[in-house]
Homo-oligomer: A and B are copies of this chain.
Amino acid sequence: MSLLQKVYPEGRVVLREVGLRDGLQLVKTFPSTEAKRRWLAEEHAAGVRHFEVGSFLPAKTFAQFADVREMVRAVAALPGAHGVALVLNERGVNEALESGVGEIASVVSATEEHSQANARRSRESAIANIRRLCELRDAAAHGPIVHAAISMALGCSIAGAVDPNEVLRLVEKCLEAGVDAVGIADTVGYAGPKQVGDLTKAAVRLAGKKPICVHLHDTRGMGIANASAALDAGARVLDGSLGGLGGCPFAPGATGNVVFEDLVFLCESKGFETGIDIEKLVAVRAILREEMPNEPLFGGLARAGLPCRTARAA
């Protein structure tokens, strides 16, 4: 069985905790490495297996990810756990490959405007970078999974509306470049469920046996509805972050990722087994509250608890 099939078993829903990377992308105060390891270990004990653990961005700009190598080792030490790290340029790619991380993710903006503003490069150059990453993966003895995420795929804070055909063209280019998995990101939470469903369905069709990962933000309260639509459209890999941690520099004041624990509830309610214990998961929020007391945490399950499924004593 290939690494890809092992990490993303066909037909099974996989929920990825991206709080340790996307959730920390913009925070001023961030957890100590020790606290991050506890966060990881406690979520693992709750049944979570997929973690985005950091990024190979310059540590002097992103001090929160200076410990990415330690985090990669920490996730590798947990039975059955899978780590993902983000890269942007070739230096990052090389460092990520050296780290032995299980999956390397890179990003292409859906729009030229956002690509230039966010990464000071063209989309073409971002794809060339991904092509190079795939070559290096192929040359490696135990190559990691390569994941290309299309950011702003459902609306762009700079260019406005995004043509889905343009996104699908980029998905195709990434697949041609040799990636193992493609991400569709509603980076600024612009979309509603119909738009998410339509794009997901088309992307799933294009990608064939390769997983489409849907990465949603809850900026306008549509996160869970959009996740539900993505599942209905055939996506089986979804991102979320504990407590909905993580905003976006292009959506000031906005909430972050889809709330991970609510996402688990959604999946279970739709009959998809996640293997995740919601109550144990909710308890991990204590680490975030302690380490980042000023970060607002969101989520319905944390507020209300699980529904009572059996009759109560009167």
Contact = CB atoms under 8 A, between A and B. Distances in A.
Interface of A is mostly: loop
A192 B304 contact: no
A312 B117 CA distance: 12
A193 interface: yes
Contact of A310 (B117, B161, B268, B304): B161
Contacts of A259: 221
Interface residues of A, number: 50
A304 B269 contact: no
A193 B158 contact: no
Contact of A222 (B113, B189, B220, B300): B300
Nearest to A254: B304
B193 A270 contact: yes
B161 A300 contact: no
A192 B311 contact: no
Interface of A: 113, 117, 155, 157-161, 188-195, 218-222, 224-225, 227-229, 251, 253-255, 259, 262, 265-266, 268-271, 299-301, 303-304, 307-312, 314
26 contacts: A157-B308, A159-B312, A160-B310, A189-B300, A191-B269, A192-B228, A192-B266, A192-B268, A192-B270, A193-B270, A194-B270, A194-B271, A218-B300, A219-B300, A220-B265, A220-B300, A220-B303, A221-B265, A221-B299, A222-B269, A224-B224, A225-B227, A225-B228, A228-B228, A254-B300, A255-B303
